[in-house]
Structure formats: C-alpha cells, structure tokens
Amino acid sequence: MIDFDLHIHTKFSSDGEFGIAEIINLILNRGINYFSVTDHNSVRGIEETFSLIQDKKIGFIPGIEIDCDYKGINLHVLGYGIDWTSEDFEILEKEMFSKEMDSFAQMIVNLNELGFCIDEESVLAKAKGKQPTAELVAEVMLSDSKYHTPLLRPYMEGGERSDMPYINFYLNYFAQGKPAFVPIEFMDYINAIEIIKDNGGTPVVAHPGLNLKGREYIVDELLNNGAEGLEVFNNYHSIEQIDYFVSVIRERNGIMTSGSDFHGKIKPLIQIGQFKFDDSCEKEVRSSIQRLTSQRH
C-alpha cells in the first residue's frame, strides 16, 4: 500500500489551493504516513505543518520546489530536509515573486494578441496578492462569459481539454516553447542545488520526464552536477520513462522518490497519495525516505 507522498502543494504556492490544516486532514484521511510539503519557491507552510502534526503519528520531511534553469531548460528541483528557517529561502521567495510579477503584463499581451479576451485587473483582483499564474488567468476567463472566445472552447465543460482545464491551458499556452510563453530568468540549476545543500537539504529533480520529454538522458548530467535523486514516480511519467529513471537511479544508488504533485483545483484529477507506481520499487522508495529523514549535509 502506498502510504507516502513527497510532493504536495499548499496555499503558499502561487497555484496551490488548500491551507496546511486542510492538507493534513486529507493526508490522514488517505492513510499517508510519510509526506512532504514542497511549495513553489516557498517554505512558509513548514512551521505550521510541524505544529499541527506534533500529536500525530506521521512522518514529515520539510521541503521546497525551486524553479531553475539548466542550459535553457526550465526545471524544478525539490529540496528535502532543508533548514526552512534560513534567510536564504525568504530571499528566494521575494526574488521569485518579483520576477513573476514582472512577467505578468506580457502574459496578458501575448494572450490578447493570440485572440483571447482578458484584462490584467480582473486577474490581479482574483489573485488577492499572490502571483497571478497562467492557471489563474484561465480560471478567470472560464468563469465569466464576457471573456469567452472560440479559443476557450476546448477548456469549457465537454471540451477535449476540460478534464483539468486550468493546468491544460497552461501546458498549451504558457509552458516553455508554447505561443504565449514568457521567459523568466530563473536561477541557474547549480545555484538551486547549492541553496538546498548549503541549508542541509537533499536535492532531487522533480518530474524529470515532464521537463525533459525527449531528452531524458539529461538526468545523467543533472545527477553529475549535484542532484542526489530523481522523482521517478508521479502522474506525468510514461511507463517507459519510469523504467529508464529506475535504471539510472539503481545504477547510482541514488534517491528514488514518489509524489502526486497535488495542487487542488488546478489539477482536479490528481489526489494526494495517488500516482503511477511500480510495486517492485517500494523497498527502494522506502529506503530513500529513510535516507531523506536522516541525511544532513
């Protein structure tokens, strides 16, 4: 039985929905015994998590998911077992917030030029002080008929992309290389590795098959340059990708992790503790969890 999930987002992520107490209730209801909160470029939920699980028999690994760049490829690196009290993470979050806010105006321009109908003010009002994400833009457009255009039809009820309309909209229009993509100068991959290790953590590449699709071999470079493991099991990898990443990690005796990448409403088909998994790897994943709980740099 899968009772672990090492990739969970809360309201402290720009695109997360639930508060810490709600997340913990979901975890307990699903029988999760080991978990990690890994918010985007933020550790603000970790102290509250520790506080709320004090009287519960549940294992928690403090974490973060850092946006970074490797040779022009947007990557996410998970940092486990970090010292979340470090000022480094406060600085990181402020810098990322500033960069993402700076990109927002161009996101709106790009969409309107493509034939969508949306204005900055409506999205910012919905964001309520958080970063206005592409998924939020989609939510605003889909929730108000005045923004409806033919381009939105695939994401409306019954459309071919309506199963997870917000994240699908992001993947179709704002993922790297897509027509409305706005490049952001994320920190270099090596710097992301350093900030994690300098603060006692273990760096693991998040969903490499999603970011490196067609170039999965690059994980060898990432592991040679500081990463200590791969998120092998998640909701994005194909069976072929899983088999490849398992073989890479086994050869190196690296960290093998699993996570749902739960966010809430932007990924409604993704639930805590649910992801593609190979039972033959359970022992290795559990061993990796134990390594993460004891490893300090």
pLDDT in tens, 235-260: 999 999 999 999 999 999 999 999 99
pLDDT digits 0-9 by tens, 191-220: 999 999 999 999 999 999 999 999 999 999
Rounded to whole angstroms, how far apart are CA atoms 202 and 142?
39
**How many CB atoms neighbour CB 71 within 10 A?**
9
Q: Are strands 255-258 and 63-70 parallel, antiparallel or unpaired?
A: unpaired
For the stretch 158-178, pLDDT in tens is: 999 999 999 999 999 999 999
Q: Using a pLDDT cut of 90, give the percent of the chain over it.
A: 98
Q: What's the confidence (pLDDT) of residue 139?
A: 97
Instruction: Name the pTM for this structure.
Output: 0.95
pLDDT in tens, 20-63: 999 999 999 999 999 999 999 999 999 999 999 999 999 999 99
Q: What would the two tokens of residue 106 be?
A: 């161009």
Share of the chain residues as helix, strand and coil, in percent rounded to the nearest 5: 45, 15, 40
In terms of C-beta density within 10 A (0-12 exposed, 13-18 middle, 19 or more buried), how is residue 124 classed? Answer: middle
Partners of residue 78 on adjacent β-strands = 65, 204
The whole-number pLDDT of residue 240 equals 98
Q: Which is nearest to 136 in space by CA: 161, 104, 162, 159? A: 104
Q: What is the mean pLDDT of residues 132-158?
A: 97
Question: Smallest Cα–Cα separation from 275: which of 250, 248, 228, 239?
Answer: 239
